[in-house]
Structure formats: C-alpha cells, structure tokens
Amino acid sequence: MAIFIGEHTRLVVQGITGRDGSFHARQMRDYGTRLVAGVTPGKGGQTFDADVPIFNTVVDAVEEAGANTSVIYVPASFAADAILESADSGIELIVCITEGIPVADMMRVMPYIEERGCRLVGPNCPGLIVPGICKVGILPGQIVLPGRVGIVSRSGTLTYEVIFQLTSAGIGQSTSIGIGGDPIIGTDFVDCLRAFEADSETDGVVIIGEIGGTDEQTAARFVSENMTKPVVGFIAGQTAPPGRRMGHAGAIISGSEGTAEEKTRAFRENGIAVAERPADIVDALQAVV
C-alpha cells in the first residue's frame, strides 16, 4: 500500500514530446510506472518510443488508454490550462512539475480542481515515488529503498537528501512526496499526513518544511490532534534574513510566523521531534520509530 500512486496508476505525460517530458517519461517507464499515453496537441496519432500512443487531448488519453493520473511538463505559460484540461477529463491525480506558474493562474485553477474532486500535487514540485513500484515526476529512483517511513517535503533537493540519508542507514520509505514550495499548491502537509496516518504500511513520517507561510504550524497542530504515528521534522532556511525570498516563491518571511524559529517551536510544542540538520534525521527517526 502507498499514498496517492501505486500499481493502479495509469500515467499520461502532458508534454511528452518536449525535452523534459520525453526524458522523464522514459525514466518513469523504466522505473516500472505504467505509462499508457502521452499528450501533445497536434501530434495525435504518433507514438512515443514506438509503443506509447500520443493523443491531442487528455480526454482522448483517458477514453482510449484508460489514463487515471497525469504529469505535466509544459512551460509555465501553458501549465494552468494543462491542469484544467486534466481536471476536466476526469483524471484523478494531477502532478504538475512546472515551476514559475503565476499566482493569478493558480487562483483560477484551484476552485476548478476542488469542484471536480481531483487531487493536484504541485506545481513546482518533484512529484512522488513509491520505491520499487511507481514514480510520477522527477524524483531519482536509484536512491530510494522500500520500507515503512513516509516523507513529505516542500523542498525538492532536501527530499533527495533525506531519502539518501535514510536509504544509507537502511531505513526504507513507503512513499516520498514533494508538495512544492509555491504560495498556492494543490496538496499540502495535512493532506499527506492524513494519508500516511491511514496507510497501514507506514510506521512513521518525516516532514520537511521551510521558511515562509504557516503551513508547518498547521501541520504541527494536525499531528498533535490527529496522528498516532511518530513524526520527525526539519525546517530549512534557519539563517535566512527576514523579507528575502529564499528559493521558492512561498519561502519568504513576513513578520514572525514564517521564521524557522517559529516553525521549529510549533513542531516541538506539538510532539514532533526536530532534527537540527538533515544528517540528524536518521538518529531522530530511530529514536521514535
């Protein structure tokens, strides 16, 4: 069992004929993901690598190839419409890798996503991976290890680092998910924590936050009030100066609530063991799981 993706996933790649789309389509397929279709408007009827049909629209990929999950590798100026197209087609899970989507575009997208009842992961995220079974996105498959620890992170590169640290220590992962660091995202910490709590094959969770916003504080309260499984946390950006954006569009401190200090305090006050450095996560996790 895993959260959001698994053996049931039937993937369509939006932008499959582009540089990034084609490269990662092969990576996902080679990892074991069931890649059933690609979409590039105007190239319907062609094939990708001789065996994956390309369609003009996502609805065609759903109706003719049975796709239930989409991953988006299209430029930012077209990404919002790509999300809307997937939602309109009946896709259950949409993973948007694209970064740089304007906030105004995401404000238009989110009500439609909620109305359609589908799940969006991202944008500006590395996606998800279930070790040995399925990956959707750009997470490197060679560093993961099957196991029983869930990972949810706002930072892509820190996700890789923490996976590598756990794998090196022989601690496997059930599902790893990068939710993205933009101000407006489709799936947040609480969504993932709730799913991990319900997953019978996850024994503990690592949550990786960063400066900016109050999502980590909200997640901390959820852990305290709703989770029975142990949670270990880390907050990136501890030396960031107030008012300066660090990396992600959402990683900007405004007032006191978005600081690493405030988020770390919220974690500790709500029963989350906090690692001071990514390298300390293994020890912190072994102490509670």
SS3 3: coil
Of 70, 246, 251, the closest CA to residue 154 belongs to: 251
Distance, CA of 34 to CA of 158 (rounded, Å): 27
Measured between alpha carbons, how far is residue 3 from residues 237, 258, 260 in Å?
28, 28, 28
- Name residues whose C-beta falls within 8 Å of residue 189's C-beta, 6 or more positions apart in sequence: 152, 154, 179, 207, 209, 215, 216, 218, 219, 222
Query: Tokens 């309109």 correspond to what residue?
Result: 88
Enumerate the H helices of the chain as residue ranges: 19-31, 58-65, 76-89, 103-116, 156-168, 189-198, 215-226, 260-269, 281-288
Asked if residues 232 and 273 have their Cβ atoms less than 8 Å apart, the reply is: yes
Distance, CA of 33 to CA of 263 (rounded, Å): 36
CB hemisphere CA count around 273 (13 angstroms):
18
> What residue type is 271 in one-letter code?
G
Q: Summarize the chain as % helix, strand, coil (round to 5).
A: 35, 20, 40
Which tokens go with 92?
Answer: 């259950």
User: Of these residues, 10, 135, 248, 263, which one is catalytic?
Assistant: 248
**Annotation marks residue 248 as catalytic:** yes
Which amino acids are annotated catalytic?
A: 248
